[in-house]
Amino acid sequence: MIKVGILGYGNLGRGVEAAIKKNSDMELAAVYTRRDPASLTIKTEGVPVKSTADLDTGKEDIDVLVICGGSATDLPEMTPKYAAMYNVIDSFDTHARVPEHFANVDAASKAAGKVGVISCGWDPGMFSLSRVYASAVLPDGQDYTFWGKGVSQGHSDAVRRIEGVLDCRQYTVPVPAALDSVRNGENPKLTTRQKHTRECFVVAEEGADLARIENEIKTMPNYFADYDTTVNFISAEEMKANHSGLPHGGSVIYSGTTSQGTKHVIEYSLKLDSNPEFTGSVLIACARAAARLNAEGKSGAMTLFDIAPAYLCRQTGEELRAHLL
Amino acid sequence: MIKVGILGYGNLGRGVEAAIKKNSDMELAAVYTRRDPASLTIKTEGVPVKSTADLDTGKEDIDVLVICGGSATDLPEMTPKYAAMYNVIDSFDTHARVPEHFANVDAASKAAGKVGVISCGWDPGMFSLSRVYASAVLPDGQDYTFWGKGVSQGHSDAVRRIEGVLDCRQYTVPVPAALDSVRNGENPKLTTRQKHTRECFVVAEEGADLARIENEIKTMPNYFADYDTTVNFISAEEMKANHSGLPHGGSVIYSGTTSQGTKHVIEYSLKLDSNPEFTGSVLIACARAAARLNAEGKSGAMTLFDIAPAYLCRQTGEELRAHLL
């Protein structure tokens, strides 16, 4: 059994907990929190909730620590810190800071003789794998990534910060015409606006100025100004009834050529009922690989690009070749 | 530069040759043939066509040999034979004989200190990777593979052997209702007939008994009897004009669950203008990995399951993380 610790018990931490239950070779050893452990009740019976102070001793009896924190401030600090003590997994997704984060985790985990797998999830993660395999096979080609239809938590949060907004769920939606053109191998040049639209479902305070809220959303720089955005005001009941899940998904479409006039289109797509449960499932497969690679004497930072797929699987090589090849 | 030898210059050998031209770090060193080398003209200027007798010396100056033979009789003999002399790649696809073939190649290549990558292509190959990644992430799930719409060369050949048939192109076509059900995550039980139909375009001899030919096709055991088959008689001109390519493709669809009522659907699909050129491109990416792994001191048989994706790519780890993560 691979003993897994979870650091952080938000949506993603709970997704990792759900994933562990589906993997017979993994067990949840403990959940670690920065809050008062007594304030937290987890779903897995008989498993302790502990303080990060315990984790900081470096002496916890775990094979892998899955760090479920945010990319903005948590992970850049936490992942290198714990990589110096344990095999670690994270879902770091701030693209511009990957080289720096990778270098920090690499230094810490190499010094400790541990493995640190960063940027696991579906994008970065499974989508990254699709881009890499496609470009390895068809170097003369181009990739496109479409997200959605799904809930963007960052955009939902941004709308919630507007005065008069009680709640919001923001869906990112690919533009069908853009998807069609890419799927047909036309290699179009697409602007931000041509690729995705944004749909907001907003619960406003009673008496709030709806026109002002709609305008503030649609003109918000970075988040909405470059997109065609639709704003729908709904009741709190409707929000709860129809928008309580965190579905997501999308497609990586790669179009390449092997000779004059010979085109190939590769598409990898995901349709996820729960973004955090799927992301947690990818983290857990990576946790298995980290434990195994470390047991073989490997150390240092890695991404999914550096891990042979068999390491992610419970099955033996013989079983994989017999049933999945 | 990675020096590649191609053994066999049929459709697949020419596909590998096309792929090499798209990879700036690879060069075609020689094409080897069992025929008289003087009888063969290849597309790459300045590259020699040699006899397999040269190859048999074990002294050819190549980094990898890509073996483009048939799985029925060629590869079970050729791949272990040349694995004892060179790093080798093949596209062995007789599923039931994979364990035996893997063991034979493993023994030969380990003894020689070489790497042998077997069963490369798209199925087995890229489709196998999709099945493995999906089942690693969602162990509680089920995979479905649909082939087509595309030309099955085996089925086309089977029809050509019928008396009175001059030429045939057989298309395998997935049944839309089955695809829809699987994409909806309904996990249907599907019979062979419910998954695919078969469409034949046949050029018959003048005066041939078309009803007899159609009946012989539709009742042919293993190939057609278990499918709904359509037979269209066409002219030789129409065959040449509309059916001269070897397009193929298909989808691996995996549907899994992470908690009560929470489903996820993963789909990997290919739409290929040329089956042999795409397959050749996968073989060449594997050739790069074999050369690199062997340079690091690795030996023995492998499949794509055993190869970290970064080994398939021209780019460095830094470049991959910067552009494709």
**Beta carbons within 8 Å of B81's beta carbon, 6+ residues apart:** B108
- B320, B136 Cβ separation under 8 angstroms: no
Instruction: Tell me the C-alpha distance between B26 and B36, whole Å.
Output: 26
Task: Count other C-beta atoms under 10 Å from residue B212's C-beta.
Answer: 12
Q: How confident is the model at residue B73 (pLDDT cuts 50, 70, 90)?
A: very high
Give the three-state DSSP class for B13.
helix
Please report, rounded to a whole number, the percentage of residues in chain B having pLDDT higher than 90: 98
B128–A273 CB contact, under 8 Å: no
Residue A280's alpha-carbon distances to A20, A45, B34, B258, in angstroms, are 9, 19, 53, 9
Q: Give the number of A-B residue pairs with CB atoms closer than 8 Å.
A: 206
Residue A67 and residue A78: Cα distance in Å, rounded? Answer: 8
Q: What is the mean pLDDT of residues A157-186?
A: 96
Question: Strand B262-272 relative to strand B248-259: parallel, antiparallel, unpaired?
Answer: antiparallel
Which alpha helices (DSSP H) does B171-271 contain, by range?
176-183, 192-195, 210-218, 236-242
The Cα B243–Cα A38 span in angstroms is: 70
Q: What percent of chain A has pLDDT over 70?
A: 100
Quote the pLDDT of residue B58.
97
Closest Cβ opposite residue A136 in set B274, B303, B313: B313
Cis amide prior to A176 (ω within 30 degrees): no
- Three-state DSSP state, B93: coil
Q: Which residues of B touch A132 (CB under 8 A)?
A: 309-310, 312-313, 320, 324
Q: Mark which residues 92-131 of B lie under 8 Å from A by CB.
A: 95, 98-99, 102, 119, 124, 126, 128-131
How confident is the model at residue B77, as a pLDDT? 98
Using the beta-carbon criterion (under 8 Å), do A274 and B282 form an inter-chain contact? no
What is the pLDDT, as a whole number, of residue B252? 98
Statement: the pTM of the whole predicted model exceeds 0.90 = yes
User: How far apart, in whole angstroms, are the C-alpha atoms of residue A153 and residue A7?
Assistant: 20
The SS3 of residue A267 is: strand
Tell me the C-alpha distance between B1 and A323, whole Å.
36
Closest by Cα among B236, B154, B249, B153 to B202: B236
Is A324–B282 a contact, with Cβ atoms under 8 angstroms apart? no
pLDDT in tens, A154-164: 999 999 999 99
With an 8 Å Cβ cutoff, are A137 and B325 in contact?
no
- The one-letter amino acid code at A147 reads W
**Structure token digits, residue A258:** 């092997």
Locate A100 and state its tokens: 């720096």
Contacts of B142 in chain A (CB under 8 A): none
The 3-state secondary structure of A167-213 reads: EEEEEEEECHHHHHHHHCCCCCCCCHHHHEEEEEEEEECCCCCHHHH
Q: How far apart are CA B9 and CA B154, in angstroms?
A: 18
Virtual torsion, Cα A8, A14, A19, A24, nearest 10 deg: 80
What token pair was written down for B80? 């272990």
B267 to chain A, any CB pair closer than 8 A? The answer is: yes
| Listed residue (B9, B127, B37, B29) closest to B87, CA to CA | B29
Q: What angle do CA B266, B272, B274 make, to 5 degrees?
A: 155
The answer to whether residues A249 and A269 touch, using CB atoms and an 8 Å cutoff, is yes
**For residue B298, how far is the Cα from the chain centroid?**
25
Distance between B61 CA and the closest CA of chain A, angstroms: 25
Q: Which of A56, A54, A51, A48 has its CA nearest to residue A29?
A: A48
Instruction: Quote the pLDDT of residue A149.
Output: 96
**Predicted local confidence at residue A46, as pLDDT:** 96
Say how many C-beta atoms besides its own lie within 10 A of residue B233's C-beta. 15
Among chain A residues, the shortest Cα distance to B275 is held by A264
In DSSP terms, which residues pair with B51 in a beta bridge? B33
Average predicted confidence (pLDDT) for chain A:
97
Burial per residue of B244-279, b for 16 or more beta-carbon CB atoms within 10 angstroms, e otherwise: eebbbbbbbbbbbbbbeebbbbbbbbbbbbbbbbbb
Q: How far apart are CA B7 and CA B11, in angstroms?
A: 12
Distance CA B196, CA B212 (A): 24
Give the gap in angstroms from C-alpha B274 to the nearest C-alpha of chain A. Answer: 7
- Rounded mean pLDDT, A38-64: 97
Q: What is the pLDDT of residues B254-292, one digit of tens each?
A: 999 999 999 999 999 999 999 999 999 999 999 999 999
pLDDT the model gives residue A34? 95
pLDDT at position B145: 97
Q: Which residue of A has its CA nearest to B264?
A: A272
pLDDT band, residue B125 (cuts 50/70/90):
very high
Per-residue pLDDT of A261-290, as tens digits, reads 999 999 999 999 999 999 999 999 999 999
Q: By percentage, how much of chain A surpasses pLDDT 90?
A: 98
If one counts every other C-beta atom within 10 angstroms of the C-beta of residue A77, the result is 11
Q: Give me the mean pLDDT over the A68-73 stretch.
A: 93
Q: CA geometry: angle at B196 spanning A179 and A138, to 5°?
A: 45
Percent of chain B residues topping a pLDDT of 70: 100
Closest alpha carbon to B87 in B286, B308, B307: B286
Q: How many CB atoms within 10 Å of residue A293? A: 20
CA distances from A234 to A167, A242, A248, B7 (A): 10, 10, 21, 66
Q: Which residues of B, range 26-45, sit inside 8 Å of A by Cβ? A: none
Q: What is the DSSP letter of B205?
A: P
Cα torsion angle, A295, A300, A303, A307, sign? negative
The per-residue pLDDT for B286 is 98
Contact with chain A for residue B312, Cβ under 8 A: yes
Mean pLDDT of B88-92: 98
